[in-house]
Amino acid sequence: MKALKFRSNNNKCRLEWVDDNILVLWIGKKEFLFSIESIRSIFFSETFRDKAHSTDLNIIGSEKEILDVNISYSDATNIFDWLTSISPLNPLLGKKPNQPPTKEYSKLNKKIIIITIIAFLAITLVFAYIYFKQTNLQNSQSQTNQNTNSSDFQELFTKGIKLIKKNQLTDGINLLLQAKAINATPEIDSALNKAYFERGEYFFQNNDYEKAFNDFESMFTITPQAQIMINQMRINTSDCLPGVDVKKIQDLLNKSYFLTFSKPRKISSGNLVIDGIMSDDDTNSNLICKIYLKNPQEIYRVVFETDASSAIEKPEDYNFEKVSANFLGFAGTLFTHGSDPVKASEWIVKTVPKAKLSYVQFDNIFVSTCFRLSGEQYKRTLEIFPAS
């Protein structure tokens, strides 16, 4: 079966040649069947409709039935080529459809077109003249403003730097911000960064954390020293884990998982941390607990880990996930105040298999305690801290 698709007005049409003697024409959902014996001729005609030339496909039957289908010229040429490829239809096929004549403009129309083009060009030239005149005027004014702004910028920048060197940080910062509004340069950004840091450090040392936060956040590049102070302020202003006893956590982990704990040691923030660790020979994994304290009685964060990433012989995924789920799930039950230990443990056990991509972390809050789970293929980390 050979087939060809085309359109007639808004209808989808299709021609089919079947069984070597039947020509089928579909117009939309309507079907017309023509046997080879019933067709007298097939030809194309050109008509003039609605002020435009169009092409018609005509199929004349042996019983004087005429089928007239209006089509485009491009479809007509495709249909002619398709019919030509069917040898039984060749004797019945008329000549190739004629291309519709191109539209010829009258002399009056040509004059109107020429006048329109000339008018358009004249208007374009007028607007171009006005635009370039205004542009030259603006450039002249801009050059004058630039000279003035350059002088103002240099004066503000110089005064601002001098005030900062005299430790008059607030006045110096204000002048540098005015200079930056005129011309933002790397030199201004660098000077502002140092000034914001110095003022933020002053506020930090005087326990004015809100102002210190604002200055550090205004820095374009936060330095390591500024980050240390930011971290310390977050710790100092955060809540502690309620009802958590350091010795009780150590005893439970030692009894259930044989973790041994070091003495408290100071970290860079000035706070304390207690390290606990145990090696699981079955999975070549380290079971780790780190308890972070503001003071010997107040815990602000606890971190639990299972880590087999350094093992020469890595455990099977199933065995590592099992020991991680057991250990971290048990850790979730240690926090009974401000938490729901049963729901927290269930969530941890269910989430451990998912937390094996370094760029994905899972957070959940039970009552007022936040549980954050992350990890890699051979490492899982559970952080527990106040939701505030």
pLDDT tens by residue, 73-97: 889 899 999 899 888 888 888 888 8
Average pLDDT over residues 33-44: 85
Q: Other C-beta atoms within 10 Å of 195: how many?
A: 22
Average pLDDT over residues 198-206: 92
Residue-level pLDDT at 329 = 97
pLDDT band, very low/low/confident/very high, at 48 (cuts 50, 70, 90): low
pLDDT, tens only, 204-254: 999 888 899 899 989 988 999 998 888 778 777 777 888 889 999 999 999
Residue-level pLDDT at 114 = 87
Residue-level pLDDT at 70 = 86
Degrees to nearest 5, angle at CA 42 with 39 and 48: 140
Give the fold, CATH level 3, of 2-92: PH-domain like (2.30.29)
pLDDT, tens only, 129-166: 888 888 877 776 666 555 557 888 899 999 999 999 99
Looking at the predicted structure, is the pLDDT value of residue 66 above 70? Answer: no
What rounded mean pLDDT belongs to the chain? 88
> Which three-class secondary structure state does DSSP give residue 20?
coil
Dihedral sign for Cα 316, 318, 321, 325, please: negative
Percentage with pLDDT > 70 across the chain: 92
Q: Where in the chain do CATH 2.30.29.30 domains reside?
A: 2-92
Q: Whose structure tokens read 């209808």?
A: 11
Q: Which of 16-20, 180-184, 255-259 has the highest mean pLDDT?
A: 255-259
* CA contacts within 13 A on the Cβ side of 95: 5
What is the pTM (predicted TM-score) of this model?
0.46
Residue-level pLDDT at 148 = 58
Q: Are 291 and 302 in contact (CB under 8 A)?
A: yes
List Cα–Cα distances, 351 to 285, 324, 373, in angstroms. 19, 11, 8
Listed in sequence order, the residues at least 6 apart from 158 whose beta carbon sits closer than 8 Å to its beta carbon are: none
Q: Which of 3-12, 82-91, 236-245, 304-313 has the highest mean pLDDT?
A: 304-313
Looking at the predicted structure, is the pLDDT value of residue 102 above 70? Answer: no
Q: Are 246 and 305 in contact (CB under 8 A)?
A: no
Residue-level pLDDT at 141 = 67
Closest listed residue to residue 155, CA positions, set 178, 132, 186: 178
